[in-house]
């Protein structure tokens, strides 16, 4: 049986860090925006990021979570059409 430290048990961070780390340019391409937008997300601490030396990387899982958080479901009427 392995014991988890307090920080491992309470923090969802290790899950977000699994997988690929994207550069700001790669994140911008994935979001179909300029590089300025992911940089602003990082500056405003609206997305998880990692410092690798002087470089900044965005975990792919964190970008997926950010995209999923912004999904808005359409409103349907009784007839099943969008309002």
> What are the boundaries of each domain within the chain?
12-68
Cα–Cα nearest to 25, from 15, 35, 39, 10: 35
Cβ neighbours of residue 82 under 8 Å, at least 6 residues apart? 74, 75, 76
> Which range is least confidently modeled, 6-10, 43-47, 67-71?
6-10
Q: What is the pLDDT of residues 11-39, one digit of tens each?
A: 666 777 778 999 999 999 999 999 999 99
pTM of the model: 0.72
Which CA distances in Å does 9 have to 14, 40, 48? 10, 30, 18
Task: Specify whether domain 12-68 bears CATH 1.10.10.
Answer: yes
Confidence of residue 41 (pLDDT cuts 50, 70, 90): very high
Cβ neighbours of residue 56 under 8 Å, at least 6 residues apart? 24, 42, 49, 50
pLDDT above 70: residue 81: no
């Amino acid at each position: 049986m392995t014991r988890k430290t307090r920080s491992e048990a309470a923090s969802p961070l290790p899950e977000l860090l699994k997988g690929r780390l994207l550069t700001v340019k790669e994140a911008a391409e994935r979001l179909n925006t300029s590089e300025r937008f992911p940089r602003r997300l990082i500056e405003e601490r609206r997305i998880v990021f990692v410092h690798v030396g002087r470089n900044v990387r965005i975990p792919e899982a964190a970008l997926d979570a950010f995209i999923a958080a912004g999904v808005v479901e359409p409103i349907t009427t009784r007839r099943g059409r969008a309002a």
